Amino acid sequence: MRRFIKYAALITMVLMLGSTVWANSYTDHVTVAPNNKGDVLIFPWFLALDGGWQTKLTVINTDKVNSVVAKLIIRSYHNSEELLDFFLYLSPADVWNGVIKYSAAKRAVVMFSSDDSALSAIAPSLVWANVTPIDQIMFPLQTCTVTGSTGDGDWLGYVEVVSIAAGPVAPAAPGVKKLDIYNAYVALLAGGTTLLDYAGDLAQGSRINSLAGFMQFQNPLSGFDSAMSATTLKDYGNLEAATTGSETRLGTTAMNTLGEIEAALSKDDIALPYVNNDDLALYFFTFPTKLTEDCGPKARGPYFDDSDRCVPYTVTTYDLTEKSPSTGSPFSGGGSTTNKFCSEVNFLASVPFEYAEGWANYLFNNKTDNVAAKDKSLLDYDGTPVIATYLYLGATGMSANYGAWTDELVFCDRLVPSTLFDYQYTDSAEGLCIIPK
């Protein structure tokens, strides 16, 4: 444990130095799935460190009739660079798992899996991972033209799993052969990429909200393990088939734009527990729609400022007795500080709070100017598209979980404040706008 805390402190020091498609009906709107089943999974972070620290990913097809072809994309923490991508061929009631870890033999971070739901080779013949395991090094990081460095890393990042296609593949029950799913998807590719026009098997894949997933940060050498579900989006509505030869970005080939995903993820007033003693609470703030993917400040997500990729925030601390020793007040509320998050995944370890234990309240500066115009839709929203999680490490083990938050309003016309869309689970009313077809 002490060794990991040293790693965490080191990592913290390192980190500190559009599409014209829009959901055309109320039922097409992407939302965060309250039942953790959907067509997009976002694993908000992974860590892969020397000494046995690794992140295990699990993806489940909960449908007992339909098979699913999903694309898994591993992205870097700073620029959302695509580090690796491959397909999962999930039969009904199937589960896939793999591990992102540091390989001492290869001296690199790798994806390892011996699960038969993925291929380890396609030429000169198909080889499934249960025959020859996947043990794949991440793609090289790009080099910045100005600084001459990558400004990024592959030991920390986040993972997306997108349901590309789904449907019955005979026999429509658990036990479908992986090769039959693969061949059905090859046939889909041969017939065209638009899933809406395809009438055969594996059509309109993302209309089936059957994917579920969870991640485990663990160290088999020391016996430490923690688990947390993926952030799950439903009704994303992928429209086109995909290959590993082209990058798959959220909001580009679906019924929902990147701005609509931001609306579903937008939140404010985030609460996270902390400790400042022998135990340790690590915070992760993930912005999966920023998608910078270059070494400059510009981000693709319409929420973010074109000239500054960083997101300002204010954090206020509270102790266990709801008092503030710095002010002597008997009421809640400690001192507040301001800072910025500049990466896609921001990792904070041993944040210097003044109390031994308590909770921290993060408030974001809600920037919503020109979101609708950038996203080429009528949509606008308050809040910040962020996923906030924490990893709690104690003397007897560790646990991971999501923070608590307040959802913010989503509008299709700010001039009529009552026009609220149900992009978020806690929204109080359905939309009243007329959506353009």
Evaluate if residue 204 carries a pLDDT over 60. no
Per-residue pLDDT, 113: 98
DSSP bridge partners of 393: 280, 398
Tokens of 414: 């700010």
Question: pLDDT by residue (tens digit) across 386-400?
Answer: 999 999 888 778 899
Q: Round to whole Å and give the CA distance between 71 and 366.
A: 32
Q: Round to whole Å and give the CA distance between 420 and 432.
A: 7
Q: What is the mean pLDDT of residues 311-324?
A: 76
Average pLDDT score, the chain: 81
Q: Round to whole Å and give the CA distance between 390 and 44.
A: 11
Q: How far are the Cα atoms of 285, 304, 306, 345, 364 from residue 367, in angstroms, in the given order?
A: 17, 8, 12, 19, 9
Per-residue pLDDT, 16: 31
User: To the nearest whole percent, how much of the chain has pLDDT over 70?
Assistant: 76
Question: pLDDT by residue (tens digit) across 374-430?
Answer: 777 777 787 899 999 999 888 778 899 999 998 877 776 655 544 445 676 554 444
Q: Round to whole Å and give the CA distance between 273 and 399.
A: 12
φ/ψ of 141, rounded to 5, equals -80, 150
Confidence of residue 59 (pLDDT cuts 50, 70, 90): very high
- Helices of type H across 284-382: 371-375
Per-residue pLDDT, 411: 72
